[in-house]
Homo-oligomer: A and B are copies of this chain.
Amino acid sequence: MALRHAVLAALLDGEYSGYQLAKVFDVGVANFWYAAPQQLYGELAKLERDGLITGRQVIQRHRPNKRLFTLTGAGVAELERFASAPAKPLVLRDDLAVKVHAVDHVDPEPVLAQLAERASTAAAKLALYERTLRELRQDTDEETFLRDGERVGPYLTCLAGCRLERTVHDWCVDTARVLRQRARTGSHP
């Protein structure tokens, strides 16, 4: 069970349809978890079957009907249980890092291109997360919000996202600079 708890945690923020969740999970906001839509629909079905969430049909006029899901008491209890169980170590898997590891033996050009792309997606995510942070804390400043706000969980994970994306971005930029300089001096065929 893995995606399971990420879905439950996301539903703490309110009712969502599978489709809406899919968008949240696609970007990765608020959750440190990515999932494809198909996975989410499947997981939602299981969660409902297990009584951890309930869905209600919403009939819409100008678009397909949808089902909105809410946590049940059992769902919250399951989250509670999960939160107190020992955490599995963070899982990180990155193609690009593998490529950089091999960069002395392969053509660096495509790797440079991918570093640039990763840097720009990191910058975009960073901007998105920073906007989310502002929305979450409204007019308050960060310190006050963290002290007195009533719901800081999403803010804290979003902060993690910011810091992470900044780290990724900077690493990509610095790594690309190193590789470009080496390509110029050309002393490493």
Contact = CB atoms under 8 A, between A and B. Distances in A.
Count of identical protomers in the assembly: 2
Contacts of A154: 101
Nearest to A99: B83
Given A106-B83, A147-B185, A187-B148, A93 B32 contact: yes
Contact of A160 (B6, B97, B146, B182): B97
Range for the number of chain A residues in contact with chain B: 35 or more
If over half of A's interface residues share one DSSP class (helix, strand or loop), that class is named, otherwise mixed; here it is: helix
Contacts of A10: 101
Contact of A178 (B82, B114, B146, B168): B146
Interface of A: 2, 5-6, 8-10, 12, 28, 30-34, 76, 79-80, 82-107, 109-111, 114, 117-118, 121, 146-148, 150-154, 156-157, 159-160, 163-164, 167-168, 170-171, 174-175, 178, 181-182, 185, 187-188
Given A33-B92, A147-B181, 18 more contacts: A2-B93, A9-B98, A9-B99, A31-B97, A32-B97, A84-B110, A86-B114, A87-B95, A89-B121, A92-B92, A92-B164, A101-B153, A103-B156, A104-B151, A104-B152, A147-B182, A148-B187, A164-B167
